[in-house]
Structure 1
Amino acid sequence: MNNGILPKHSAVEEKLHRSNSSASWTRPLSLPIPGVRTRRLRILVPNVGVGSLRSSRGRRSRGPVLVCFACMALFLTVMVFSRNKTNKWTENWQPSNADSSTLVFRREDLQRIWKWEIASGHFPSSQPIPKQIGLKTAPMNPALPYQGRKPSRYRSSTEDQDTDTYGVGSKRVYLDIQSVYPNVAYPPRPVPGSVADMDIIMKYCNFSTGKYVRDCLEVLRIGGGLDNGRRLRRGNTDDWKYIYQEQNSTQFEYDITPDTNPATTPRRALVGEQKVDPDVGLVKKRGSEWEAQVVFPPTLKHRPSSALKTPCDPENPRVYHMFWTGPFTDKPYLALLSFLFTQNTGMHIRDYPADSPVCRPQFWMWINPGPAASVPNPSAKRDMFKMLKNSPWASPFLHPRFKDVIQFKLWNTTEQLDGVPEIKDEWRSFKTLFNSGGHVISVPSEKKETTTVTTSGNDTAAATKKGEEEDMLNRTGSKSSSSYDRLSVILSDMARFILCHRFGGIYLDADTIFLRDWEELWGWKGAFAYRWSRLEKYNTAVLRMHKGSALGTFLFRTALKNGLDFHPMTVSMYTADAFIEPLLLRLPDALFDSAWLNTENFQRDRPPQPYFTEFAEFFDTPAQNSAAPQALGFDGFFKGAYSYHFHNFWWKPFDPSRNWPDLGPRFKAGEDAVRAALEEDSVKAKAKEVPLTTQKDATSPSSTIEEKSKNDPIENDKRDLDWATVLKRTFEAYIRGERPNMYGEWLQW
C-alpha cells in the first residue's frame, strides 16, 4: 500500500466521523414514482440550510432550489423506467465493443442452432437459455426427464427471465457405486451406458461459486465409487451421486424437430406498428456481413443406452483423438499407456466377445509427419508407418494385441480442411493458416535460396532473425523451452475442432494422462471443454463435440470470418458474443487439470493431493514432498479427476534414470535400442573429457548393453522417485503383466 496516497484511516472510522458531524451536506427527499402507486423514490439532495445558508435569505430561496432538484429527479426516474421498453434481450447485458465482436450470425440463426442442439439431445442440462437468444417458448428437451408443465399463472414471462427447456425424456436413476465384498481391493468399472450429471458436478466443483478442487475431487471419488474400501464419510452422501442411468420409456412421444428453414413469407406489419430490428442487442463484427442462413442436417434422435440395439451409439462414436508432430517420444507413449491402464478396452479378455455389453473405445493417434507448414509427400503414409516401426516408443502399440483399440492415422491438412463442408470452398483464400489469438505467422509458399553477406550489426541482426524464422518453419516438435514448435501448436488448435466435427469423439492434448474410466463422460451427450484456471474462458486441451453438429457449423463459419483463429481465448469470444456458451459447457478444471489453480497461487490454503506450486514439480518433485509418490502411488495422484494435464515440458523425460520403454521381454528390442543410444551418447560425452591415449580402453556400448539390462544396480536408480516416474513405471508394470490395471484387471496376452 502506498501510504503517501491512500488514506490511513478505515472506512468504518470515516463513516463514524461523518455521522458525528454537527450538520449533513445532504438530506433525503421522497418523490412519487410514475406508474407505481405503492412506492416512492428516496434520493439525497444538497442540504441548502447548512452553515451560512441558514440565514433567512437562504431559507427564502430554498423553495425554488428544491423544485429544480425534484424536476431533475423526476426526469431521471422516467428515463430509467422507460429505457429498453422495445428490447427485452438487453436488460441485464452489457454490449461488447463492436471493434472486438466476432459475431456474424443473426438472432434467428442463433435460435435455430439452439433448437437443433436441444432437439438432438445435446443439452442434458437444466441450465436456462440466455434471454438474448430471444426464444418465446420453452423448447422440448429429450435429454431431460419428463416434467409436467406448470400452469401459466405459475410461470414467469420470458421477458423477465431466461428460457428453461421442457423435459420430455426418460427417467433418471442415480447409482450408488461401491465395491462389493470380497472384491474391494479395486474400484468397480462404471456401469455401461451410465451418464454424468454435469449440473451436479458444477454444483460442487464450480470455481466461480467458491468451490475447492480438493472438495470436488472427494465428491468425484465417492460418487464414482473410486473410494473402494476406504469410505470414511459417515453422513448421507446421496446428494453426491452424480452418475445415473436413463430408463427406456416410450410413454412420452413428441415431435421435437425444430423448424430449420427460414420463413418463406414474412409477417406483414400492421398499420402504424413500429418496426423493431430483430437483431437489436447483438453486436455484429465490424466490417463483416451477417452470415447467410445455413442449412443444418436433420436433427439426431436422442436414445437412452438401454434403447440402443448395440452398446455403441452410431451417432456418438467413442473415439479419442490426439495430434502429434515430429519424432515419437515418451509423451504420446505415456498417453497411450494411461489409456490402456484406465479405459474399458477389454485387454483383460483374450478373445473379446462380439456380444459384449460394453462400448469399446478407440484411440486415434494422428501423426503429422513433417513441419506444420509442410505438404506431405505421396509416400507420407508409408514413411509414417516405417518411422513408427523403427521408433522404440511407438512400435509396441503396433502389436496385434492393440490393433482393435489403437490406430495411427496420417494427418494431411489440405485433406482435413477439404473435409469440412462449412469452409472447404473458402479456406484457400487465406494467405496463412497460422493465426493464434490474432497473432498471425506468415509462411512463404516457396523457400527462396538467398546468400546473406553481413557487413554491419544491423545486417547481422537481420540474418539472425531470418535464421530464427527459418528454424521455426522447419521445427518438428519442441525439443526445449527455447525451441518451441509454435506452428504445430497453432495447427493443433485447429485440428481438434476439425477432428471432432468430422468424426465426432473427444480430443485430448498429447500432454494428457488418463486417470480413470470416462464411461459416464461419454454418456453425457453435450459438448464440452474445460475452464482456463481462474478465468471464465475455455481451455480446449480436452474437447468433446459431435459429428456435423449445428454448434460445429457455427464455430467454423465464425472462425472463417475471424481469420480461422481457433485459439481457446478466441473460441471463448465466439461463444460469448453469440450467447451459446451453455452449448459448449465449460467444465471445472478440477476434472482434467487439478493442479492449475494451485500453480497460479489459488486455493493454496486447502490444496488437493498432490500439492504442486508449479507444473515442473510433476517431473521434479521437491525433496520435502518426494516421499509421497512411492508411498501413495497411482491412487494418491489427484484421485477422482478424469485426467491430468502437465502443460508441455516435452523436453523433460518422465523417468530420467531409466529413459527408455520398459515393457518386458516382448518389446526388448526397442528397450535395447534406446539404452544403446543413451550409452553411446554417454561415452561420447565422456570421450570429450578423457585424454586421447585412454579413449581406446572405452568399452563398446553395444557389447555391454545386454549385460547391463540383465543386472541393473539399484544404485543407478534415483533415490526419491518423482510423480512422473511413478506413473510411467505403474503403467509399464501393467503391460509387463506384473500388476493389474486400476480396476483390478490383468492384461491377457
Structure 2
Amino acid sequence: MNIRLGDRSRANTLPVYSNSAVEEKRRRLGRPPPLITVLHVPVPSLSRKLRIPIVSPLWLRHYCSVPRTRRSPWLCLLLIALFVFVFVLLPSPSGGSRRRWNLEETQSQLKQVLPKASTTLVFKRDDLNRIWQWEIQSGHFPSGRALPKPLNFLTTPINPAYPPNFKKADWAKPDHLRSPVITNTKGIGSNRTYLDVRAQPPDTAWPPRPIPGSVADLDVIMQHCDFSENKYVRDCLEVLRVGAGMDNQARLRRGKMDSWKYIYLEDGDVNWHLNVTEPPHRGEGAVISSSRSPSAELGKKWGVEWEPTPSLRTPPRYRPANTLPSACDPENPRIFHMFWAGDFTDKPYIALVSFLFTQNLGLHLPPDQRPTTFCPPQLWMWINPGPASSVPNEHARRDMFEKLRTNAWSAPFLHPRFKDAIQFKLWNTTEQLDALPELRDDWRARRDGLFNSGGYVYKAPLEEQQEPLSAAASETDAAGPGPTAKDTKERTRVLKDEEKDNLSTILSDMVRFVLCHRYGGIYMDTDNVFLRDWEELWNWGGAFAYRWSRMKRYNTAVLKLGRQSALGAFLLRTAVKNGFDFHPMTVSEYTQDAYLEELLLRLPDALFDPAWLAVENYQTDRPQQPYFQSFGDFFSTPQKDNAAPGALGFDGFFKGAYSYHYHGSDYWSWPLDPARDWPDLGPRFAAFENGARASALAAKRIEEGRDDDVADDRRDLDWGTVLKRTFEAYIRGERPNMYGEWLKW
C-alpha cells in the first residue's frame, strides 16, 4: 500500500524519523505542517497525473488552532471561506458537473479541516436497530463482524446464517465480563465445511465449476484483500484463484493453505433449537439506552422531520441451500441487472458474451433439457429508449425490439437459445418509481430536480418525465398499426451530448437501487466484463458494493441488495430526504451516519476492479497481472506490454477476480477490436453481421468478399481484443467456455 500527499513512492504508511527522539517530538507536536501540498489530478488523455500545488488543509487547521489566532477568529473564518469557495463552489471551467474524483478529493481534504457540520440521518436509533434486526433475522448478515455500539443492542440478535459461536460471543460471557452493549450476534446456523477446491482427473484442463450451493466467506476474503489492512491486489487475486481451484495444472506447493479456503458448504439445517433470545444485559451501563430518548446523540438532518417507523414486511425465513426444495430460491432471485441508453454498441455486447462464457446457464445441456441441480442466473438488460427524461410512446417496446433486431451488436442475443439467459427490458421511470411505496408519494414533488448527483442537480421538466405505458403496449410483439408521427416525436428539450450522457449516468445511479429493491439481484454497470462464475457470491446472503479505490467509500458499479429488504427501504427513504441523491459517495454518507456500513459490505475492489489502485499509482511496487497504468490500456495495450495478451490469453487477465470494470465513460468510442470491429459469431449470425462487416472493411479499403488475411489484422493484440475474440470463439463453437463446457445448439 502506498500513500500520497507529496510523495507517491513510499510504500510504508508509517512516518520515518531520524534517530533523535527530540526530532521525533518536534515533528509530532511542535512543527507545523507545510504550507503547500500537491494535489494529483488525473487527466483522461494523459497516462500521468498533473501535480497542482495548493494550500494544505492541514496547515490551515494548524494555523487556526494555535493560540495567537484564537484572538482573531475572523481571519480564520475568512481563510476557510476562501478555501471552500475556490475548491467547492467555484464552477468548473467547462460549466459542466465536477468529476467524481474532484468532488471526493475536495471533500476528503475539507473533512480534515472542518468538523462535520451536517448529517444525512433521518431515522431514529430504534428504527436503525429494527433494520439491523430484520436483516440479521433474514440471513443477510452471515458474518462474525461486530455490531455497532452506538445503536445500543441490549439483547443479542439471533443469527440463522452464522454457525454457533459459543466461544466468541459476548452473550455467552458472565454478566460481569460483558460489555455495556451487545456487540455480537448469536449464531444458530448450520456448521460450515470449507472446501479444498481442485480440478479432478480426467477434467484437469479446465477449472471446476463452483459446487451448487457453495458460499464465499467474505470475512475471509476481507482478511486477505482489505486495502485498509495493507493487503495487495496481487496477493488477493492469488488467494481467490487458489481457493476456487482456478489454478488447475498450475498449483505449486506452498505448505498448509487452510487459511486461504474461503468457499464453504452449509451442513444441514439451521439449529432452530438454539433460537432462544438471551435476557437483556443488566450489568453496569445497561441503562445506556433505556434512560433517554431513542434519538439521543444521533444527529438528524437539518430541515427535515424524522422518518416514521418503517413498514417492513415479515422477515423471510432463512434456509441453507441444501434444504431448499429446488435449486433456485424464490426469495433470492438470481438476476443480473444492467442499464443502457442509446444505440447498442460493442460495449454492452462484450458484457453479454462474457456473461454467456462464464456463468452456469445450462448452455452445455441439450436445449430441451432444463437444469435441476443448479440455478442458472438471468441477465436483464434494461434499455432506456431515449434521453433520461424522454417520454416513451405507446409503441416504445415494439420500437425497442425492432432496433435490437436490426442492430448487429444486439441481434444475436435475441436468438431462442439465449431466451432463458438474457432478457431485454424497457425502462420507464414513472412506472418504476410508482411501483415502490418508498418513492411513489415523493418523487413527483421533486419536479425538475429529480436527477441529483452529489448535490449537482440536472434540470428535467416534469412534462418530459416518463409516463406509464398501457398494458397493451407492454407486450414484446404487440400487434397493431405502426407508430404515428405524433407518437414517435420526442417531447424533450434540446440537450448537449455531454448533458445527455450526464443525465443517463445520474439516472443509472438511481436505477440500480430501484431495480435491486424491487426485483432483488445484482446490478452491474455495463462497462463490466465477467471473468468467473458468481455462484458463491449469490449464495452469500448479505448486500455489498465495493470500495472506491483507496477511499473508504462505495463504488456501486457492482451492487447486491435484497428484494424488498429493510436496508433497501432505508436507502431509498434516506435518499428521498436528501434530495434524491444516489451518488455512491453520498450513499457512503447514508450508511456511515446510520451505522449500517456492515450491512452494505464494502468489498475490496480487487474482486471487481483489480486495476484501479495501480491506475491511481498505488501498489506499484508489487502490481497485479496485467499491470495497467491507465484504464485505456485495456483498449490500447502499451507496446512494451502488448505481447502478453496474445501469449497469455483469457487465463492471464486478472485471474481470480469476479469481473473487470474498465470505467468506460471515457472510452465509449474506443473499439474493442479495431481490426475486426463487428460481432464475429460465425455463419449462424451472418445475416446480422454482414452489414457491420462490410462497413468496417470499406473504411479500411479492403475488398468485400475476399477471404480474411492475417495481414489485415494487428500484429500485436490488445487485451480488449483478446477477450472479445475468446468469447466469440465459444459462441462459434470453436472452443469450450472457461469451465470446459461446449455450447450445444
2:249 aligned with 1:212, yes or no? no
| Pair 1:737 & 2:733 matched | yes
**Deviation at 1:390?**
0.4
**Structure 2 residue identity aligned to 1:167:** G
Give the 3-state SS of the residue equivalent to 2:348 in structure 1. helix
Provide the secondary structure at the position in 2 that maps to 1:336.
Answer: helix
Query: In the alignment, does 2:404 pair up with 1:358?
Result: no
Alignment partner of 1:230 is 2:246: no
Tell me the equivalent position of 1:157: 178
Indicate conservation of the 8 Å contact 1:98/1:285, yes or no: no
Q: 1:15 aligns with which of 2, 17, 22?
A: 22
Question: Which of residues 189, 195, 207 in structure 2 aligns to 1:187?
Answer: 207
Q: Distance in 2 between matches of 1:251 and 1:549?
A: 24
Deviations 1:55-110 (A, max 9, x none): xxxxxxxxxxxxxxxxxxxxxxxxxxxxxxxxxxxxxxx99966431000000100
5 Å-filtered alignment, 1:64-213, equals 99-148=117-166, 151-153=172-174, 156-159=177-180, 163-213=183-233
The Cα of 1:423 is off from its aligned counterpart by 1.2
Secondary structure of 1:108 counterpart: helix
Measure the CA separation in 1 of the matches of 2:123 and 2:540: 27
- The answer to whether the Cα contact below 8 Å between 1:316 and 1:505 also exists between their aligned partners in 2 is yes
Contact 1:98 1:283 in 2 (8 A): no
Q: Does 1:283 align with 2:299?
A: yes
User: d(CA) in 2 for partners of 1:129 and 1:174?
Assistant: 25
Contact 2:388 2:500 in 1 (8 A): no
- Cα gap change, 1:484 to 1:210, in 2 (>3 Å): farther
CA distance in 2, matches of 1:617, 1:550: 41
2:69 equivalent in structure 1: none
The corresponding residue for 1:488 is: 504
Tell me: CA distance 1:182–1:106, structure 2 relative to 1, closer, same or farther (3 Å).
same
Deviations 1:474-504 (A, max 9, x none): x5xxxxxx68711000000000000000000
Displacement of 1:153 in angstroms is 2.4
Instruction: Report SS of the residue matched to 2:187.
Output: strand
Q: Distance in 2 between matches of 1:386 and 1:257?
A: 58
State the 1:10 CA deviation: 6.8
String of CA shifts for 1:254-289, please: whole Å, max 9, x gaps: 55899xxxxxxxxxxxxxx99633322211101111
Choose 1 or 2 for highest CA Rg.
1
1: distance between equivalents of 2:195 and 2:369?
A: 26
Quick check: 1:553 aligned with 2:569?
Answer: yes
Distance in 1 between residues matched to 2:598 and 2:254, nearest whole Å:
35
Matched with 1:640 is: 656
- Per the TM alignment, residue 678 of structure 1 is displaced from its structure 2 partner at its CA by 3.0
In structure 1, give the amino acid aligned to 2:178: S
Q: Does 1:620 align with 2:620?
A: no
Equivalent position to 2:409, from 393, 397, 404:
393
Q: Tell me, yes or no, if the aligned pair for 2:17 and 2:23 is still in contact at 8 Å.
A: no
How far residue 322 of structure 1 moved from its aligned partner, in angstroms, is: 0.3
Do the aligned partners of residues 257 and 302 (structure 1) sit closer, same or farther apart at CA in structure 2, a change above 3 Å counting? farther
Q: Any residues of structure 2 matched to 1:213-612 within 5 Å, and which?
A: 213-249=233-269, 251-253=271-273, 276-351=292-367, 353-354=369-370, 356-431=372-447, 432-445=449-462, 472=495, 475=497, 485-612=501-628
Instruction: Report SS of the residue matched to 2:272.
Output: coil
Alpha-carbon contact 1:99-1:286 (below 8 Å) kept: no
Instruction: Evaluate the alpha carbon distance shift between residue 741 and residue 154 of structure 1 in structure 2; reply closer, same or farther with a 3 A threshold.
Output: farther
Secondary structure of the structure 1 residue equivalent to 2:174: helix
Secondary structure, in 3 states, of the residue corresponding to 1:202?
helix
SS in 2 for 1:629: helix
Aligned equivalents of 1:426, 1:190: Cα separation in 2: 43
Q: Distance in 1 between matches of 2:684 and 2:122?
A: 56
State the shift of 1:576 in Å.
0.3
Which SS does the other structure have where 1:186 is aligned?
coil
Once residues 484 and 606 of structure 1 are traced to their aligned partners in structure 2, the CA distance between those partners, rounded to angstroms, is: 40
Q: Structure 1 residue 374: deviation in Å?
A: 0.6
How far is 1:338 from its partner? 0.3
* Structure 1 residues 374-418: Cα deviation after superposition (integer angstroms, max 9, x where no partner): 111111000000000000000000000101111001000100001
Q: Distance in 1 between matches of 2:160 and 2:733?
A: 45
What TM-score, normalized to structure 2?
0.78
CA contact 2:351–2:526 (8 Å) conserved in 1? yes
Distance 2:219 2:527 in 1: 28
Query: Could you tell me which residue of structure 2 aligns to residue 670 of structure 1?
Result: 688
The answer to whether the 8 A contact 2:362-2:370 is kept is no
Letter in 2 for 1:220: L
Q: Is the partner of 2:162 in helix, strand or coil?
A: strand
Does the 8 Å contact 1:95/1:283 carry over to 2? no
Check whether the contact 1:98–1:286 (CA below 8 A) recurs between aligned residues. no
CA 488–172 in structure 1, closer or farther in 2 if over 3 Å, else same: same
Q: Which moved more, 1:665-674 or 1:596-605?
A: 665-674
Question: Matched residue of 1:743: which SS?
Answer: coil
Report the Cα distance in structure 2 between the residues aligned to 1:567 and 1:17, rounded to whole angstroms: 42
CA contact (8 A) 1:98 1:284 kept: no
Unaligned runs of 5+ in 2: 7-15, 27-111, 279-288, 465-491
On the 8 A contact 1:136/1:158 being kept in 2, the answer is no
**Structure 1 position 295, deviation (Å):** 1.4
Cα offset, 1:133, TM superposition: 1.1
Aligned residues: 605
> Deviations along 1:219-256, whole A, 9 cap, x unmatched?
00110110011001331111111000111236533558
On the 8 A contact 2:326/2:372 being kept in 1, the answer is no
The TM-score, its normalising length taken from structure 1, stands at 0.77
Please, which runs of 5 or more residues in structure 1 have no aligned partner? 3-8, 20-93, 259-272, 448-468, 476-481, 684-700
- Residue 651 in structure 1 maps to residue 669 in structure 2: yes
Task: Quote the offset at 1:443 in angstroms.
Answer: 1.9
Change (3 A) 1:734 1:429: same
Q: Is the 8 A contact 1:331 1:510 kept in 2?
A: yes
Question: Given the superposition, is the C-alpha separation of residues 638 and 98 from structure 1 closer, same or farther in structure 2, using an over 3 Å criterion?
Answer: closer
In structure 2, do the counterparts of structure 1 residues 354 and 681 end up closer, same or farther at CA, with 3 Å as the change threshold?
A: closer
Alpha-carbon distance in structure 2 between the residues aligned to 1:404 and 1:18:
67
Structure 1 position 730, deviation (Å): 0.3
Q: Hey, what does 1:715 align to over in structure 2?
A: 711
Please identify, of 200-209 and 244-253, the stretch whose mean Cα deviation from structure 2 is larger: 244-253
Corresponding residue SS for 2:657: coil
Instruction: Measure, in 2, the Cα distance between the counterparts of 1:156 and 1:613.
Output: 52
Residues 186-208 of structure 1, C-alpha deviation per residue, up to 9 Å, x if partnerless?
Answer: 00000000000000000000000
Change (3 A) 1:402 1:18: closer
Instruction: Judge conservation of contact 1:346–1:352 (CA < 8 Å) in 2.
Output: no
Which amino acid counterpart does residue 714 of structure 1 have in structure 2? V
AA matched with 1:595: A
Identical-pair percentage = 58
Aligned-residue offset at 1:744: 0.4
Partner of 1:594: helix, strand, or coil?
A: coil
